[in-house]
Amino acid sequence: MIGDAGMHCAARQVASFSAAMLSNCNPMHGQRRMHGSCVSRNEDAILILGPSASGKSDLVLRLLSCGFDLVADDQVDIDDGIASCPPALAGLLEVRGLGIVRLPYRARARLVLIVELARPADRLPMPRQHPVLGLPVVGIDPAAASAPERVALALDCATGRISQVAGAFAA
């Protein structure tokens, strides 16, 4: 049984984590704070967007096991195309059913792609750009078994490491 002190400590942790959360895209003195998560590979960052409880943090956890680095979870600061984490949340990842864990993280990375969580994702999507950030956007179903591999492939297409014949990155 958890005593009152333990309950208050847990409540403070949740309150501290929640206090850093803002709306979807808030300007902050020349930068933006967005509700989403962010991972990077080779210093190229992916911003993952979706409504609360849509699977952003779960997809991040799966991407971490595929060699990606954590940049931010729940809130992402963006300044001139560089993603970072608000200091109060640095290295924290919320894992449903487990809690909030502290992990190694990359302090900053250059955004090159936005992943919007969508169920189901379009089969052959047209190229899209984010209206505020001007970056390519792809829809990924986070529940798909191959979601992490699709995100990695989309990153390779967005950075020109792989060419595409038709779809979100076709010229």
Q: Kindly give the residue spans of alpha helices, DSSP state H, lying in 25-126.
A: 56-64
Enumerate the active-site residues: 35, 56, 74, 123
DSSP H stretches of helix in 43-116: 56-64
The two structure tokens encoding residue 30:
């020349």
Residue by residue, pLDDT tens for the chain (171 residues) are 444 444 444 444 443 343 433 334 444 344 899 999 999 999 999 999 999 999 999 999 999 999 999 999 999 999 999 999 999 999 999 999 999 999 999 999 999 999 999 877 778 888 999 999 999 999 999 999 999 999 999 999 999 999 999 888 886
DSSP lists the bridge partners of residue 70 as: 39
For 4-158, give the CATH class.
Answer: alpha beta
Give me the long-range contacts of 126-131 (CB less than 8 A, separation at least 24): 126/168, 127/167, 127/168, 127/169, 127/170, 128/168
